[in-house]
Amino acid sequence: MMPDLGKYAEAVLSSYAISIALLAVLVIASVVRARRVKRDLESTEKRGRNHAD
Amino acid sequence: MASIWQYANPRKFIQTTDRVLPWIAGAALVALIVGLVWGFFFTPEDYRQGSTVKIIYLHVPSALMAINGWIMMLAASLIWIVRRHHVSALAARAAAPVGATMTVIALVTGAIWGQPMWGTWWAWDPRLTSFLILFLFYLGYMALWAAIENDDTAADLTSVLCLVGSVFAVLSRYAVNFWNQGLHQGASLSLDKEENVADVFYFPLLLCIAGFVLLFIALVFLRTQTEIRARRMRALLVRERLG
C-alpha cells in the first residue's frame, strides 16, 4: 500500500507529518476556544439576567 | 434581493454561518482526504523531482491560501475602514492565525522540498523573501490586535497594517514575474493550459486546493463567531463592573 518514495522518503513524509500536525493544532485550538468562549458568554449573560431580576 | 450588508449584523452572521458551517467543514474534510490520499498514494513520481513532487499537494494550496488569506483580510479591513462594520474587522482578526499557519506550512514544505532539489533549505530569492516578510506581517498583525485593549482602535491600526502588508502579499504572488530571477519556478497552475503541471498531478492538486479553500472558510467562520462572542462578553463584563 505504501508507495516507494525512494531516497526522498524522509523529505516527503516529514512534509506531510508537519503540515497535518499544524492543521490539526489549528483546527483543535479553534474548536476548543469557540466552545469555551460560547460557554463563558452564556454564563455571563445568565449572570446578567439574574442580576437584573 | 437581500443585501450582503445584513451579515454585518453579528446575530445574523452567527445564525447564517451556524447553518452552513457543518457542510463547509465536511466538504473540506472530504476534499482534503481524497485529494491527499490520491496525490500521495496514486500518483507517479516526476521524472526530475522523483517522489518529492508529492509535496506539491501541500505546498501549492497552503501558499495560495497564505496569499489569498491576506487578500481576504485586506477586503475585510477596507470594509471596516469605510463602513465601520465590526463583523468585518473581527473576520480579518479571525483569519490571521489561519493565514499565518498556511504561510508556515508553505515555508516549511518549500524548504524541505528545496533541500534535495536546489541543494539548499533557503535562498534569498524574491518569492521566498517576500513570503517570509508576509509571515512577519501576519505575526505583527496578530501582535497588534493583542496589544491594544480598545477594539475599535485595534481594528483601525491593524487595518492600516493590513494595507501595508498587502504589498508583500502581491509580491509573494508575482515576484517571479516581476524580477524573473531566483530559484523559485513560475506558477504551477495557470489559466494557460500550457503552463500547468501534467494532468496526472493536476486533478488531485485541484482537489487539495478546494480542500484548503474550504478549510480556510470554515475556520474563518468559526473563529469570527468566536471573536463576535468574545467582544460581546468583554462589553458585558465592562457593564457588569460599572453597574
- Condensed to tens digits (0 to 9), the pLDDT of residues B177-188 reads 666 666 666 666
Evaluate if residue B195 carries a pLDDT over 90: no
Alpha-carbon span B201 to B186, nearest angstrom: 16
Q: Check: CB of residue B134 under 8 Å from CB of residue B66.
A: yes
Residue B50 pairs in a beta bridge with B46
Among A26, A39, A49, the residue to mutate for chain B (most B Cβ within 10 A) = A26
Q: What interface predicted TM-score (ipTM) does this complex get?
A: 0.93
| The pLDDT value given to residue A20 | 98
| The pLDDT value given to residue B179 | 64
Alpha-carbon span B86 to A47, nearest angstrom: 25
Cell 535562498 belongs to B123
A26 in reach of chain B (CB within 8 A): yes
Domain limits at B216?
20-242
Answer yes or no: is B5 within a domain. no
B224 in reach of chain A (CB within 8 A): no
How many distinct structural domains can be found in chain B? 1
Answer yes or no: is B32 within a domain. yes
Q: How far is C-alpha B139 from the geometric centre of its chain's CA atoms? A: 13
Among B52, B65, B117, B217, the residue to mutate for chain A (most A Cβ within 10 A) = B52
Evaluate if residue A53 carries a pLDDT over 90: no
Evaluate if residue B166 carries a pLDDT over 70: yes
Alpha-carbon span B11 to B109, nearest angstrom: 39
Evaluate if residue B190 carries a pLDDT over 80: no
The backbone torsions φ and ψ at residue B46, rounded to the nearest 5 degrees and listed phi first, read -85, 145
Answer yes or no: is B3 within a domain. no
Answer yes or no: is B206 within a domain. yes
Among B11, B121, B229, B241, the residue to mutate for chain A (most A Cβ within 10 A) = B229
CATH number of domain containing B98: 1.20.120
Rounded to an integer, the average pLDDT of A17-43 is: 98
Evaluate if residue B32 carries a pLDDT over 80: yes
Answer yes or no: is B14 within a domain. no
pLDDT-derived band of residue B1, with 50, 70 and 90 as boundaries? low
- Condensed to tens digits (0 to 9), the pLDDT of residues B82-98 reads 999 999 999 999 999 99
Alpha-carbon span B45 to B154, nearest angstrom: 48
B-chain residues within 8 Å CB-CB of A12? 51-52, 54-55
Q: Check: CB of residue A37 under 8 Å from CB of residue B230.
A: yes
- A38/B58 CB distance under 8 A: no
Is residue B106 helix, strand or coil? helix
Option in A6, A11, A33 nearest B115 (CB): A11
Residue B170: how many CB atoms within 10 A of its CB? Answer: 17
Answer yes or no: is B10 within a domain. no
Answer yes or no: is B139 within a domain. yes
Answer yes or no: is B2 within a domain. no
Option in B116, B219, B236 nearest A26 (CB): B219
The structure's pTM equals 0.92
- Condensed to tens digits (0 to 9), the pLDDT of residues B99-157 reads 999 999 999 999 999 999 999 999 998 889 989 999 999 999 999 999 999 999 999 99
What share of chain B has pLDDT > 70, as a percent?
A: 90
| Kind and range of the H or E run holding A38 | helix A9-52
A17 in reach of chain B (CB within 8 A): no
| The pLDDT value given to residue B167 | 87
